[in-house]
Amino acid sequence: MLTNRQNEILKLIVSEYIKLAKPVGSNLICDRLKCSSATVRSEMATLEELGLLEKTHTSSGRVPSEQGYRYYVDNLMKLKEISGEDMLKLQLIFSNKQLELSDCLKQSLEIVSDITNYTSVVLGTKSHDNILKEVNVIPLDNSKMTVIVITDKGFVEHKTIDVPGISLDEVKKTVTLINNLIIGTPIDEVSSKLEFEVKPVIGNYVREHELLYNVFYNVFTSFTNMNVDVVGKKNILKLPEFNSVDKVTKVLDKLDDETIENIMEKDDSNDVKVYIGKESDIDPDMTVVKTKYRTDTEEGTIAVIGPKRMEYDRVVNLLEFIKNNIENK
């Protein structure tokens, strides 16, 4: 256990380094905590020996180590209140009854990315527990329609598609065939059932059977796949930690491949989790803060990705706020 003074010094160094991205010297700590320079230097040396602070090559000041950030998050951090302006922006989204849950998630995380200058991620709903209840279509004009998929748990997915040159009658025949053959099928088995039960017979009923089969196959495939939305990727380019093109490229690649899905699915806990540095699986200078949300019909994960010197107190509270509003919407 650290002493009260050591806690104060570590907390101050973490806070200042998060703000300025510059090593924190003993003079600033002496001024803030009204301690002698000898006392401060001694305590900083102790914190360094404990592995909570590190000394840089270019400065006599100290920066928090990965272990120091972890100690700060677990023992010293107090959540920062959301400002009135930011609260209003988020409440406007959640009070809009016209918005689908997926739109609420994306728009709220766009705001988080905007106000924090970090990157936000939504891992979409898991649909494997859902069973297909109904498929319907709404014609929009001569060449477009919206396909609506409804599950037994009340989950509704819609996708607008182009079907140029195909009559509404042909589309309706296809929907009727699909409803007759695959209603009651678990969502993650629908694509397979389309291929082996619908595809062999659709040509007997529908002229444009190949095009329509492919349209509905793609709709169900996109429905069952997990959708990852990454917002604010360009914010990574602004971080002083990432002034190397090679480093930026590696991080951006991980946000585009399976790495991000693996990170988002790590730990099934409902709490807000903080993965610092190497724990993030992205880069030693990055942090991932994430939490799961669960409603009666859906579940998914939301996260904020930023530098190791992240405003943890602010980000954790923002994610808690969004999660609570999603679960109570």
Characterize the bridge pairing of strands 299-307 and 144-151: unpaired
Structure-token match 């898991």, residue found: 126
Query: Cβ contacts of residue 187 below 8 Å, gap of 6+?
Result: 127, 128, 130, 131, 132, 151, 220, 223, 224
What topology does CATH give the domain 4-76?
A: Arc Repressor Mutant, subunit A (1.10.10)
**pLDDT at residue 225 in the model:** 60
* Tens of pLDDT, residues 72-102: 999 999 999 999 999 999 999 999 988 888 7
CATH 3.30.230 fits 132-224, yes or no: no
DSSP string, 141-180: SSSEEEEEEEETT--EEEEEEE-TT--HHHHHHHHHHHHH
**pLDDT at residue 108 in the model:** 95
Q: Is the pLDDT of residue 226 over 60?
A: no
Structure tokens at 51: 């592995």
Average pLDDT over residues 45-66: 90
Q: How far is CA 11 from the centre of its chain?
A: 27
**pLDDT at residue 128 in the model:** 55
Residue 222: pLDDT band with limits 50, 70, 90: low
**pLDDT at residue 201 in the model:** 87
Domains 4-76 and 132-224 share a fold: no
CA dihedral for 173, 178, 180, 183, sign (positive or negative): negative
Cα gap 131→140, rounded to integer Å: 27
For 97, other C-beta atoms within 10 Å of its C-beta total: 6
Q: Is the pLDDT of residue 257 over 70?
A: no
**pLDDT at residue 98 in the model:** 85
**pLDDT at residue 66 in the model:** 97
Q: Is the pLDDT of residue 236 over 70?
A: yes
Its pTM stands at 0.73
**pLDDT at residue 113 in the model:** 95
For 20, other C-beta atoms within 10 Å of its C-beta total: 11
* Tens of pLDDT, residues 175-218: 899 899 999 998 878 888 888 888 888 888 888 788 888 888 88
Q: Most confidently modeled of 2-6, 135-139, 194-198?
A: 2-6
**Are the beta carbons of 191 and 154 closer than 8 angstroms?**
no
**Are the beta carbons of 206 and 177 closer than 8 angstroms?**
yes
Average pLDDT over residues 225-234: 78
* Tens of pLDDT, residues 69-79: 999 999 999 99
Q: Where are the domains of the chain?
A: 4-76, 84-126+227-327, 132-224
Top-confidence residue, 223 or 169: 169
Residue 62: pLDDT band with limits 50, 70, 90: very high
Residue 43: pLDDT band with limits 50, 70, 90: very high
Q: Is the pLDDT of residue 127 over 60?
A: no
Q: Is the pLDDT of residue 234 over 60?
A: yes
**pLDDT at residue 189 in the model:** 86
**pLDDT at residue 19 in the model:** 93
CA dihedral for 182, 188, 189, 192, sign (positive or negative): positive
Give CATH for domain 84-126+227-327. 3.30.450.40
